[in-house]
Amino acid sequence: MQNYTDINAKAIDQWVEEGWEWGTPISHESYENAKNGQWSVVLTPTVPVPAEWFRPCLKDGSFGGAKLLGLASGGGQQMPVFAALGAACTVLDYSDRQLDSELLVSAREGYAINIVKADMTKRLPFGDKSFDLIFHPVSNCYVEEVCHVWNECYRVLKSGGVLLAGFDNGINFLFNEDEPLKIMHKLPYNPLRNPEHYKHSIECDGTLQFSHSLEEQIGGQLKAGFILTDLFEDRDKPDGNSIGEYYPQYIATRAIKP
C-alpha cells in the first residue's frame, strides 16, 4: 500500500505545477529588497512573523551565518529571504516541485543552500544540535503523528535554539469546502482511521490531511521540552464565504530549547 506521505507529495507536486500560491518562488526584486532590509515572511496565511521572533539569531538585520532549517518549507519563498539576510540555510521538503523552486531561486540569485528531500514523519536526516533556528510553516496537517515532529525539532536544535511554527487549530476539518459553514465532520479528522474521511480527502484535493488538537500542537511542543515564549492567531485571506470570516483558523508559535 502506498504511504500516505507519498500520496501527499505527489498531490502537492501537481498543485505547484498548476500555480499553487505556496509553491510560487519570490521574484528577483523581492530577493534584492530582502538584502536591503525590506522583507517579511509568514508561518500562517497572512500575518507576517514579527522580526523580534528571530532573535537572538537575527542581529542588526543579519543572521550572520546562523544555521537555519526550513522544515517542510520548500517553494522558494522563505529560504531566499533568510539567505539574503545571511543565514546558512537548509530546506527539507518531500515535494520534488517545491524543492525544484528552491534550486531555481538559489541558482538565479547565486547563494548556497542545502536542499534535502525527506519525509518528516521519519527521523530527520540531521545530527543532534545541528541548527540555531527552525522555520516550520503550516504543514503538519499532512502528518498523522505531530509529536514526532516536535521531538525531532527538539533533537536537531542547539540549546538556546528557536522553533517558529505555524499550524491550523483543527476547525477547518469540521467543514467541507463546498459547504464552508455547515458542520459535516467530527474531530479528530483522520483519513487513515475513517473510510469516509479518506474518501472525502482524496476527492477534495488529492491529499490526506489530519486535524490536530491544541494538546498535540502546543502541548506537544511543551512535552518535547520547549519553552513557549509567544504566539499569535491568523486566518485565511477573506473571500466572503470562509470560516476565517468568523473565527481564526491558524496559530503561530515561538518556542525555545533551553
Residues in the chain: 258
- The label of the residue with cell 537572538 reads 56
Whether the predicted model's global pTM rises above the 0.85 cut: yes
Per-residue pLDDT of the chain (258 residues; tens, 9 = 90+): 689 999 999 999 999 999 999 999 999 999 999 999 999 999 999 999 999 999 999 999 999 999 999 999 999 999 999 999 999 999 999 999 999 999 999 999 999 999 999 999 999 999 999 999 999 999 999 999 999 999 999 999 999 999 999 999 999 999 987 777 889 999 999 999 999 999 999 999 999 999 999 999 999 999 999 999 999 999 998 876 688 989 999 999 999 999
Integer CA distances (angstroms), 64 to 61, 82, 113, 159, 247, in order: 9, 10, 15, 18, 39
Chain centre distance of CA 236: 15
List of domains in the chain:
4-168+213-256 (3.40.50.150)
The span from the CA of 197 to the CA of 190, in Å, is 6
H or E, element range at 134: strand 131-136
